[in-house]
Amino acid sequence: MAKYVYPAIFEKDELGGFAVTFPDIENCFTQGNDLNDAITMAEDVLNLILWTLEDDKQPIPSPTPISQIQTDGDSFVSYIQADTIAYRKKHSPEAVKKTLSIPQWMNQMALDAHINFSQVLQDALAQKLNIA
């Protein structure tokens, strides 16, 4: 899970929209009705594909330098950013129940101090995973 930047090819269509492809990532393409829509859709599909690759433990391809990508007259190349951690937070916010064990004395002290066990565990995991 990380932040990524990939070049995307934007090809203008006859209706004013754009088709978007990512030359470095197989089956990663989308379209938009205008440039803003195409950029938004490109960010979404890039995050989704990279999330899937991460979950499937597949290698993440290296991005080609933008200067090495050729386009024709109605096309251009631009970088698109993906943040799979932020994307996961947005699209998979449901909580899961975990069972854990702590010493009884610590449990009582935490209860007396009105500590939110779930929040403490989330904060500790975020720190351990360097996603805080």
For the segment 3-35, what is each residue's pLDDT rounded down to a tens digit? Answer: 999 999 999 998 889 999 999 999 999 999 999
Pairing of strands 75-83, 29-32: unpaired
pTM for this entry:
0.80
pLDDT tens, position by position, 57-84: 999 999 999 999 999 888 999 999 999 9
Q: Which domains does the chain have, with CATH numbers?
A: 3-91 (3.30.160.250), 95-132 (no CATH)
Q: Would you list the DSSP string of 17-73?
A: -EEEE-TTSTT-EEEESSHHHHHHHHHHHHHHHHHHHHHTTPPPPPPPPGGG----T
Q: Does residue 1 carry a pLDDT above 70?
A: no
Measure Cα distances from 121 to 44, 49, 82, 85, 91 in Å: 29, 29, 27, 18, 21
Give the per-residue pLDDT at 2.
Answer: 85
